Amino acid sequence: MSKRQVPASVKDERLIEKRREQMVKGAVNLFKEKGFHRTTTREIAREAGFSIGTLYEYIRQKEDVLYLVCDTIYDEVRERLEQDIDTKQGTIESLKRAIANYFKVVDEMQDEVLVMYQEVKSLSKDALPYVLQKELEMVGMFEKVLEGCVNKGEISLTKSEQKLCAHNIFVQGQMWAFRRWALRKMYTLEEYIALQTDLLLKGISKK
Amino acid sequence: MSKRQVPASVKDERLIEKRREQMVKGAVNLFKEKGFHRTTTREIAREAGFSIGTLYEYIRQKEDVLYLVCDTIYDEVRERLEQDIDTKQGTIESLKRAIANYFKVVDEMQDEVLVMYQEVKSLSKDALPYVLQKELEMVGMFEKVLEGCVNKGEISLTKSEQKLCAHNIFVQGQMWAFRRWALRKMYTLEEYIALQTDLLLKGISKK
Amino acid sequence: MSKRQVPASVKDERLIEKRREQMVKGAVNLFKEKGFHRTTTREIAREAGFSIGTLYEYIRQKEDVLYLVCDTIYDEVRERLEQDIDTKQGTIESLKRAIANYFKVVDEMQDEVLVMYQEVKSLSKDALPYVLQKELEMVGMFEKVLEGCVNKGEISLTKSEQKLCAHNIFVQGQMWAFRRWALRKMYTLEEYIALQTDLLLKGISKK
Amino acid sequence: MSKRQVPASVKDERLIEKRREQMVKGAVNLFKEKGFHRTTTREIAREAGFSIGTLYEYIRQKEDVLYLVCDTIYDEVRERLEQDIDTKQGTIESLKRAIANYFKVVDEMQDEVLVMYQEVKSLSKDALPYVLQKELEMVGMFEKVLEGCVNKGEISLTKSEQKLCAHNIFVQGQMWAFRRWALRKMYTLEEYIALQTDLLLKGISKK
DNA sequence: CATGAATGAGGTTTCATTCAT
DNA sequence: GATGAATGAAACCTCATTCAT
């Protein structure tokens, strides 16, 4: 499944990219504050720095903005993950680093993660699969890291456990954004990383 | 923080309860399908089986419906949890049962949990705290169970770990609802319960 | 043109009178504050001390309340005028007394006068004539007093001037209510009475 | 106290002026017939010749239309008064002319005057002062004329009497609009002017 | 005779989208 | 390629009135 195209009336590809960047940037700010549905297209245009007419030269519908926003955020998160993760090393240490780095990315992009997290469901049946696919790919990255560790004999997990574990890691990262109302009162980011890593590795039962 | 009151024009308390039940039931169905914002008040009224005028005899604003929906769902989930959970026993077995029961409740109420999960953020600043409070109370129940186990020496966790672990359990239950698009393809409920419980207890690192 | 009947479902005449009194009293308070259109029938019922259902046992439409209000106020103003005015005496003194008394009545009933003044126009084409008729009757009282003075040779006015002068007096009384925002800052009631009487009698041109 | 601004979404000032003119014109017609409260925003838009959406590009609330209507009418009345009145001459003749002209303006604009007269009270507490201020300015114009006459020794009035007299003149003009149901049956405009001027100057008591 | 729950027409307002300039 | 005025469907909400109890 490749990238979903959002048609524009304008031809100049360079310009399209530029305008859409402005658009997404403005939209994230607004969605953060009021959510997708309470944000108007006029506000998006104004925040992006151009007119409502221009906005519609680069999208067909309001929902396209949401898609672009989600798409952009996922791309950025993934890109930053890819830089940090070494899926081949297969050491506990590399797993820990992957988790820590991912949690840090979430922390730095918490607004974006939150927005995306809360608004994906507003995407049309048409656009949703593309975004979910991206999520699966990211989960897949953690799966790879785990697999590496298993292969190296550092940990022992069935395929099923690997997959679930990858989902857990992914969700625990998002948790830091969408449950910050509760977690932030209790932990710093570093504590959160340390605790989650520990629980993940050792479990809770006595040895 | 006690229950937040939604004022009604109608006086008969019995009737209020009955009508609101109809209302919530209808609303959940609609929210499930189209989300809060895409659902109109007229649709809610129709689905509930009465007129738009009558709807507004029992609420002041559309948002009140959302609050009542969230409130009702939380109450039901908690009620069912309370029946099943034994916070005093302090055995690993009782912890497992608590988790399994909670996950089963989430499974049975997956539509409701999903709705609530996705729409809480649409609540006004005014209503949100009441709902978050309820969530914390439920997390607190798992904390108690964990504490019981610690006290009995069955497991060893710091206070901090207990709290985080309770959050994790709670979120992993919700996960079964909000990530069913991915999880359902891989696991049955029973498998999910078994795997999560195992990971939680033993962790992933080799003994 | 006799009194316009507002039909009631209830038979007991005594009761009708009592309920309508309550109704008018409550309504005047509300109209004073928010005007006829912004006042709801429910509010009228509540302020009157009974239920919306009961209200509609004594009127057919909301507008009937307005008619009853106007009717009642006019009757009270006229009644109080009739007590004070001596149309036969024909002295300047009696004219002065009539004016002073009328202005005092307006002052005491300023809320009612204001309400009536501002809301008559909301009466239906059907009810309006009855109320205007009452107004003409009151103007007629001043006309009589003026006529008395003319007949006694105290003042000299043509029939036309008498009529207009009566209107002027009547409106200058209402003025005290509907322009109180301006007049009250400049005059006490006594000053207002004295000045208006003086201007009326002597005019402004040098003798 | 300067002009109260009604915000528009449209930027082109020329266009705003034009559209608001259409709007006010249509609204006066409708208010004349059914009053402010019984006129719908849709009707106003249709009468003005554009869509409901366009209407709301030029106002924020229905009440803004009423404010613009009142504002416009006052401005027009005043403008026409200013053209005619010579406040400096100080002759009885100029006073008579001022009154006659004012009464003629009221006669020509009787619908507008009536509308404004009956609906000002529906203005919000926010907008009312601006309109009352305009009324005071117009009263002030008559005050000036009277003052001129006093200074020239043509008439003799105390300051207090001048002020009241100005109010009387102003109200007697409006009377011709709001009591036309009674006055028109008795007098032509010319008769009304002649009689009121006469009564004003000479009073009613015998010389 | 009194009540108040139910109704739904209709009010005001918003806002995604278009299109002439 | 950019603008922003115009549109009107459709949203939320109110409230006069009815009628079964």
Which SS3 state, helix, strand or coil, does residue B180 take?
Answer: helix
- Which of B100, B81, B95, B94 minimizes the C-alpha distance to B194? B100
Separation of first and last alpha carbons in chain D: 45
Token look-up 């129709």 returns B46
State the maximum Cα–Cα separation within chain A, in Å, rounded to a whole number.
65
The minimum CA-CA distance between A194 and chain B, rounded to whole Å, is: 10
Average pLDDT taken over every residue of chain A? 93
For residue D171, give both structure tokens: 């109200």
The minimum CA-CA distance between D16 and chain C, rounded to whole Å, is: 30
pLDDT at D207: 54
pLDDT at A90: 87
CA torsion angle for D21, D23, D29, D33 (degrees, to 10)?
A: -150
By CA distance, what is B118's nearest residue in A? A118
A22 pLDDT tier (thresholds 50, 70, 90): very high
CA torsion angle for B26, B30, B32, B36 (degrees, to 10)?
A: -110
Number of neighbouring beta carbons within 10 Å of residue D33: 12
Residues of C in contact with D136 (CB under 8 A): 182
Separation CA D117–CA D114 (nearest Å) = 5
pLDDT at A54: 97
Strand E: which of residues 28-67 in chain D lie with Cβ below 7 A?
39-42, 52-53, 56, 60-62
For residue A27, give both structure tokens: 């939209």
pLDDT at C1: 59
Q: pLDDT tens for residues B86-105? A: 878 889 999 999 999 999 99
Separation CA C197–CA A126 (nearest Å) = 83
C3 pLDDT tier (thresholds 50, 70, 90): confident
Strand F: which of residues 132-191 in chain D lie with Cβ below 7 A?
none
Percent of chain D with pLDDT over 70: 97
pLDDT at C84: 81
Helical axes C62-84 vs C92-108, angle rounded to 10° = 150
CB C125 within 8 A of CB C83: no
The minimum CA-CA distance between C114 and chain D, rounded to whole Å, is: 11
Separation CA B14–CA D106 (nearest Å) = 61
| SS3 per-residue string spanning chain C | CCCCCCCCCCCCHHHHHHHHHHHHHHHHHHHHHHHHHHCCHHHHHHHHCCCHHHHHHHCCCHHHHHHHHHHHHHHHHHHHHHHHCCCCCCCHHHHHHHHHHHHHHHHHCHHHHHHHHHHHHHCCCCCHHHHHHHHHHHHHHHHHHHHHHHHCCCECCCHHHHHHHHHHHHHHHHHHHHCHHHHCCCCCHHHHHHHHHHHHHHCCECC
CA dihedral over A153, A155, A157, A163, signed as positive or negative = negative
D202 pLDDT tier (thresholds 50, 70, 90): confident
D125 touches chain C (CB under 8 A): no
With a 7 Å cutoff on the CB, does C179 touch strand F?
Answer: no
Separation CA A104–CA A106 (nearest Å) = 5
Residues of D in contact with C185 (CB under 8 A): none
Q: pLDDT tens for residues D6-29? A: 999 999 999 999 999 999 999 999
Percent of chain C with pLDDT over 70: 97
Q: Looking at the C1' of nucleotide E19, which residue has the nearest alpha carbon?
A: A53
pTM (2 decimals)? 0.92
A21 pLDDT tier (thresholds 50, 70, 90): very high
Name residues 139-168 of chain C within 8 A of D (Cβ).
139, 146, 153-157, 160-161, 163-165, 167-168
Whether C77 shows a pLDDT value over 60: the answer reads: yes
Separation CA D203–CA C200 (nearest Å) = 5
Whether B115 shows a pLDDT value over 80: the answer reads: yes
For residue D115, give both structure tokens: 């509308």
> C60: which nucleotide lies closest, measuring CA to C1'?
F17
By CA distance, what is C183's nearest residue in D? D164
